[in-house]
Amino acid sequence: MKHFLKDMLPFILFFYSQIIFITVTALLIFNIYDIENPLGNMLYMLGVPTIFLIIFLSIQYRKVKPFYELAIDVDTTSPDDEMWIPDSGMQLLSSVKKAFETQHRRYETELKKVHHHHQQHLTFVQQWVHQMKTPLSVLKLTLQKEKSRMSPSVYDDCMEELEKMWEGLELSLHYARLDSFNRDFHVKKVHLKGILTEMIQTYKSAFIRNRVFPELNVPEQLWIDTDPKWFSFIMGQVTANAIKYSTGSGNKIIYSTIFEDGTLKLSIKDSGIGIPEKDLPRVFDPFFTGENGRKFRESTGMGLYLARQICEEIGHEISISSQYGEGTTVTINFPNVTKM
């Protein structure tokens, strides 16, 4: 009601300005012709129009009341809830409702087209990645068979390029699957040391080639609640970064765990080049490569972004700390841990 009266204020002011004008005119006439009881007549002239004004405003408010309630509901309604303009007996508001519904139908049609094209694109990317994995696997097997006929440096260079292509395909595939995460997400008890050992074995050649060595300081009895496929991807991205930015140092990448405030913290610490302080707040932003990315041209800026997105989906927390020139530590927190 308050908003309605505020909107009608110009009309009310105009209405009473006319009443005052008529009343003043009548008062002058009363004085000229010496009519008795002018005050009573003036009150009558003000009271009757006021009653009719109140009746008129009440009728108008009943017509537009749903619109003012809708305006209040907008502030408290969830973005996921549908909202519709109510019916009204006023021609102007009926025209607004019709225009809104026409625009809404057009918007829905365009949104469905965009969603359809997006789904087609994701389907194409996923199919293309799977098709590309087959020739890469064949090339890798061929290289392994011909290893004895090749010089070690050529073999290492070829394997390194194959691994980069494979990692790029995995990155594309998991990015494409992120939209359908809920359908591709299965949490279960996972042996932490076992899954880390498998991941390290996957990157064995990269560790050796870059002269960086893993050290696994994780107790045997720890089991975490996670999705093994997505968690392996997270650890792969963190490990790949640690190897890349520690290459040739001859140092270790240390995997260790501690309990703190009832939460298990898994740390992956390297002694590489570190991250400049100005880049730290943005390392989880999509496509952000920073100063190190300009030095290492292979960076896409998507690995840590995907790692954080996946961690949020599966209930883990990921953070990063670094000293430029000294190394980087990535920490993943697990709230639900079982010891067996």
CA gap 267, 253 in Å, rounded: 10
Range among 44-53, 223-232, 296-305, 331-340 rated most confident: 223-232
Query: Is 75 strand, coil or helix?
Result: coil
Query: And the tokens for 261?
Result: 């405030």
Within 10 angstroms of residue 303's Cβ, the number of other Cβ atoms is 21
Structural element, H or E, at residue 323: strand 317-323
CATH 3.30.565.10 fits 185-339, yes or no: yes
Q: What is the average pLDDT across 115-136?
A: 83
Q: What is the average pLDDT across 33-39?
A: 65
H-type helices in the chain, by residue range?
2-33, 38-74, 91-145, 152-177, 192-202, 204-209, 228-244, 290-295, 303-314
Query: And the tokens for 132?
Result: 């590309």
Band (117; pLDDT cuts 50, 70, 90): confident
Q: What is the DSSP letter of 337?
A: E
pLDDT at residue 71 in the model: 62
Sign of dihedral through CA atoms 164, 166, 167, 168?
positive
Q: What mean pLDDT value characterizes the chain?
A: 82
The model's pLDDT over 284-319, given as tens digits with 9 standing for 90+, comes to: 998 888 887 777 656 778 889 999 999 998 889 999
pLDDT at residue 10 in the model: 74
Query: Is 178 strand, coil or helix?
Result: helix
pLDDT of 24 above 60: yes
Rg (CA), the chain: 36
Between 32-41, 48-57, 184-193, 225-234, the lowest mean confidence (pLDDT) is in 32-41
Share of the chain above pLDDT 90, in %: 26
Sign of dihedral through CA atoms 259, 232, 202, 154?
negative
Q: Of 304, 286, 161, which Cα lies nearest the Cα of 237?
A: 304
Structural element, H or E, at residue 332: strand 327-334
Q: Are 268 and 231 in contact (CB under 8 A)?
A: no
pLDDT of 125 above 70: yes
- Counting Cβ atoms within 10 Å, is residue 219 exposed (0-12), middle (13-18) or buried (19+)? exposed
Structural element, H or E, at residue 259: strand 252-260
Query: And the tokens for 23?
Result: 């009343």
DSSP string, 278-290: TTGGGTTSTT--H
Q: What is the DSSP letter of 258?
A: E
Band (150; pLDDT cuts 50, 70, 90): confident
The model's pLDDT over 175-210, given as tens digits with 9 standing for 90+, comes to: 887 777 666 778 889 999 999 999 999 898 889 888
pLDDT of 8 above 80: no
pLDDT of 151 above 80: yes
pLDDT at residue 19 in the model: 76
Band (254; pLDDT cuts 50, 70, 90): very high
The model's pLDDT over 63-114, given as tens digits with 9 standing for 90+, comes to: 777 776 776 555 555 545 555 666 666 676 777 778 888 888 898 899 999 9
Which residue is listed with tokens 């394997």? 159
- Counting Cβ atoms within 10 Å, is residue 120 exposed (0-12), middle (13-18) or buried (19+)? exposed
